[in-house]
A and B are shown apart, each in its own frame.
Chain A
Amino acid sequence: MADETSTPQKRGPIKSSVGSVAVQRRREHAVMVGKERREALMRTKRLCRVGVSSENADIPVEDDMMMDEEQSVLEDQTLKAVEKLKHAIGYQGKGATQKRVGALRELRRLLSKSEYPPVEAALEAGVMPTLVQCLSFGSPDEQLLEAAWCMTNIAAGKPEETKALLPALPLLIAHMGEKSSLPVAEQCAWALGNVAGEEEELRNVLLSQGALQPLARMMLPNKGSTVRTAAWALSNLIKGPDPKAATDLIRIDGVIDAILRHLKRGDEELATEVAWVVVYLTALSNSATSMLAKSNLLQIIVDRLASSNSLQLLIPLLRSLGNLVAGDSYITNNVLVAGREITVNVIQALIKCLKSEHRVLKKESAWVLSNIAAGSVEHKKIIHSSEAVSVLMRLLSTAPFDIRKEVAYVLGNLCVAPAEGSGRPNLIVEHLVSLVHGGCLGGFIDLVRSADTEAARLGLQFMELVLRGMPNGEGPKLVEAEDGIDAMERFQFHENEDLRNMANELVDKYFGEDYGLDS
């Protein structure tokens, strides 16, 4: 480990100051740290702190993150490490490999232990060309591993830093080949996953250089951390927005089978990463969605949704289900047929998510239900007669806004049959009556009052159903009782012409001159 005896003169004053300047600097540092931490979090990149293989007998000398280490100390050490590495590369004599691996290891530790790895310093010291040399064909595995690990962490931060890996990409891809040792391949996959997670352009470069095939192959075996890392890297690589990579991936031999296998039998961590691959496949590629819809993926997803309680896994499973239902009518028409066990299971799984305490699960399960409810009358009946309705009604009154909006979609969809031709879709009066008597009208009128255009529109459309469709002319009275007229009158000076017209239309038609005359 780099020694700390030789400290440059300039650091002296900083170290000894205890006055307000130091306090100020620490405070500024804390604010910066907060922001950087958040940014580090939002990135879809992952820093590699612990080696991929357990064979990597790295004695955890200073395993704790050097939280108190001043950045300038780290930077100095980094400069030294880079210099050492450069010399080691040049050295031709005995023990050359050891020298190189040793130097790489030092650098790698600096780049993986601290909270804010001194990546910029390393790059400025010219580390990249040296690391690329370390990746040359025929190099010993240990060297390849350490070099790829350094690159992984260099690419885990800021965009400019990630882009610095460009010259290394073809080599990293090559070292994922089937002849490479597993830890080396995995570390390369990790580095590439970070690069892919940065931006679309880099993804395109990786795809043109042929990164997809080897990564897909790495996802085929039954177990091992390599499979999981490859799946994660793939999820970054295919995330588009161009659907081509997703479409190409699903066509590779063995991929569908591996996906189904891992989702069914893989441990929760592996299943999570594979589920995210499915999320992107189903969100982006119609052919992938179609192929997966015809496999038994749905059953596997539903079973897993029912049996797991890990939020990490539930989120991508639910979203994949949602994408399948939203993306291909095959699911609602051919798979989720009324009376089949799978249909019951899907609704049950969705109810489980609706009842969860996690916001994301509640919102996205409501979304999936809304899409099923947009299907045939049988689908609406199934949902309407299930426990879902009481959960939804509760959510409509109490949940945060974004969830209430999705719930509104479900409830409204339950009341309207699919449109036939160009006519107005028919009302399902039985459902409307039961939902309105169940107390949902207030929730819809709240949406009308919100400043969100989409929500207001939904609310007004539901009010129209109530005004038109409630039997015995009950509609207007019910709307009035919930302050619906007030809510609609808000739109008189609203800047949105569409909403203005809709609201005025309803007020005129149902609360016009004749209102109340026969009461």
Chain B
Amino acid sequence: MDVELEESGTGFKFPCWNPLRRRFQPGAPFFAAGTIERELLAKQVALELTEEEKQQIREGVEDWGSSEVFCPIVGCGAYLKSLEDFEDHYNARHTASCSVCSRVYPTSRLLSIHVSEAHDSFFQAKVARGYAMYECLVEGCDAKLKSYKSRHQHLVDKHKFPSSFEFFKKAKPSKRQRQKVQRKQALHKTENASTAMQVEQENIDNLVSAVSRLSTSDSPSSISFGRRHTRGLTFVPRAIQKERRPDLSPEQMKK
């Protein structure tokens, strides 16, 4: 049998689905609803319970479970009463999107850091002059570093980020671009990748390609930040969304 392990460069092994029997102790939360129902049914006559009361009690039990939750996004921790509340909270607080390139960030702070680093020429100018412009991503740590790479190192060393973490992920070119690249590569077999990218550079509207210049060529791009499309567009394959003009505001792109 093929004993294939899912290993990434970091040595992480994906825990594949493994069917196991699950057993619970009698007092486990899993059984709570049924145990309460027993008491409800046994005493409804004696206590003259109204349907309303029974419903209230049943709903009370449901609240005990995993419905209540603290938002798991790092740095947030907001208390939410139900899973619907969590969904609303997530959409309201953790989907800050960039109006330039439509990437989405979980906090407005990270969004603004992105905007400075990716779309602000003044920022790049200061970097070129040697100012420490790259902020640490962890809120509360006021460290500023001189380069993207040194900031990355700071995150790994001081804040135990995984080394594969990439704040600014190289974006995937759109389908049209990919086909263009493939055609060009077929025609100019001896030309290297940078030539193909120079062609993209001419396409100023498409900032996505400008971005691909910035990132290092062989980073494993394990973590992506910011989506290439907005939440509102469901069932639309990513490649097609790529075609949309980036100068459309996120509101227009959303349903």
- Chain A interface residues toward B at CB < 8 A: 37-38, 40-44, 46-47, 49, 239-241, 276, 279-280, 283-284, 311-312, 315-316, 319, 323, 325-327, 329, 359-360, 363-364, 367, 370-371, 373-375, 400-402, 409, 412-413, 415-420, 422-426, 449-455, 457, 461-462, 464-465, 477, 480-483, 485-486, 489-490, 492-496, 501-502, 504-509, 512-513, 515-517, 519
B5 interface contact, C-beta 8 A: yes
* Bound CA–CA A412/B15 (angstroms): 14
- Which of B30-38, B149-157, B247-255 lies at the binding interface? B30-38
Q: Please, what's the 1-or-0 string for B209-245, where 1 marks a CB less than 8 Å from any CB in chain A?
A: 0000000000011111101000100110111000000
On whether the beta carbons of A400 and B62 are closer than 8 Å, the reply is yes
B72 interface contact, C-beta 8 A: yes
On whether the beta carbons of B83 and A401 are closer than 8 Å, the reply is yes
On whether the beta carbons of B33 and A359 are closer than 8 Å, the reply is yes
On whether the beta carbons of A425 and B17 are closer than 8 Å, the reply is yes
On whether the beta carbons of B73 and A493 are closer than 8 Å, the reply is yes
B63-111 contacts to A, CB under 8 A, are: 65-67, 69, 71-75, 80, 83, 86-87, 90, 94, 106-107
Residues from chain A with a CB closer than 8 A to the CB of B80 are: 451
Chain A residue with the shortest CB-CB distance to B164: A504
Residues from chain A with a CB closer than 8 A to the CB of B33 are: 359-360, 363, 402
- Can you name 14 A-B residue pairings with CB atoms under 8 Å? A37-B53, A38-B57, A46-B43, A240-B27, A241-B27, A311-B37, A315-B34, A367-B30, A451-B72, A464-B16, A483-B231, A492-B224, A493-B94, A493-B106
A-B contacts at CB below 8 angstroms, number: 208
Shortest C-beta distance, A162 to chain B (Å), equals: 16
Chain B residue with the shortest CB-CB distance to A47: B46
B51 interface contact, C-beta 8 A: no
Residues from chain A with a CB closer than 8 A to the CB of B62 are: 400, 402
Chain B residue with the shortest CB-CB distance to A515: B172
B129 interface contact, C-beta 8 A: no
B140 interface contact, C-beta 8 A: no
* Bound CA–CA A209/B69 (angstroms): 44
Shortest C-beta distance, A202 to chain B (Å), equals: 16
Chain B residue with the shortest CB-CB distance to A409: B22
On whether the beta carbons of B221 and A402 are closer than 8 Å, the reply is no
On whether the beta carbons of A46 and B42 are closer than 8 Å, the reply is yes
* Bound CA–CA A519/B6 (angstroms): 25
On whether the beta carbons of B4 and A424 are closer than 8 Å, the reply is yes
On whether the beta carbons of B14 and A506 are closer than 8 Å, the reply is yes
Given contacts A400-B62, A451-B80, A492-B223, contact A326 B24 (CB under 8 A): yes
Shortest C-beta distance, A262 to chain B (Å), equals: 17
B39 interface contact, C-beta 8 A: yes
Residues from chain A with a CB closer than 8 A to the CB of B66 are: 401-402, 451-452, 454-455
Residues from chain B with a CB closer than 8 A to the CB of A485 are: 227, 238
Residues from chain A with a CB closer than 8 A to the CB of B57 are: 38, 41-42
Most buried by A among B58, B224, B235: B224
Chain A residue with the shortest CB-CB distance to B228: A485
Residues from chain B with a CB closer than 8 A to the CB of A312 are: 38, 41-42
Chain A residue with the shortest CB-CB distance to B37: A360
The 4 A-B pairs at the shortest CB distance, nearest first, are namely A451-B69, A374-B19, A413-B19, A326-B23
Chain A residue with the shortest CB-CB distance to B226: A489
Chain A residue with the shortest CB-CB distance to B69: A451
On whether the beta carbons of A495 and B74 are closer than 8 Å, the reply is yes
Residues from chain B with a CB closer than 8 A to the CB of A42 are: 36, 39, 57
Q: Please, what's the 1-or-0 string for B146-179, where 1 marks a CB less than 8 Å from any CB in chain A?
A: 0000000000000000101000001010010010
Extra 19 A-B pairs, beta carbons < 8 Å, given A41-B49, A46-B43, A481-B237: A37-B53, A43-B39, A315-B37, A326-B21, A364-B34, A367-B22, A374-B19, A422-B3, A424-B6, A452-B83, A455-B66, A462-B17, A464-B14, A489-B224, A495-B72, A502-B15, A504-B164, A507-B223, A508-B221
Residues from chain A with a CB closer than 8 A to the CB of B172 are: 513, 515-516
Residues from chain B with a CB closer than 8 A to the CB of A241 are: 25-27
Given contacts A41-B43, A43-B39, A513-B221, contact A374 B25 (CB under 8 A): no
On whether the beta carbons of B38 and A276 are closer than 8 Å, the reply is yes
Shortest C-beta distance, B219 to chain A (Å), equals: 11
Residues from chain A with a CB closer than 8 A to the CB of B31 are: 319
Residues from chain B with a CB closer than 8 A to the CB of A370 are: 22
Contacting B5 at CB < 8 Å: which of A49, A364, A424, A451?
Answer: A424
* Bound CA–CA A370/B25 (angstroms): 17
Chain A residue with the shortest CB-CB distance to B170: A513
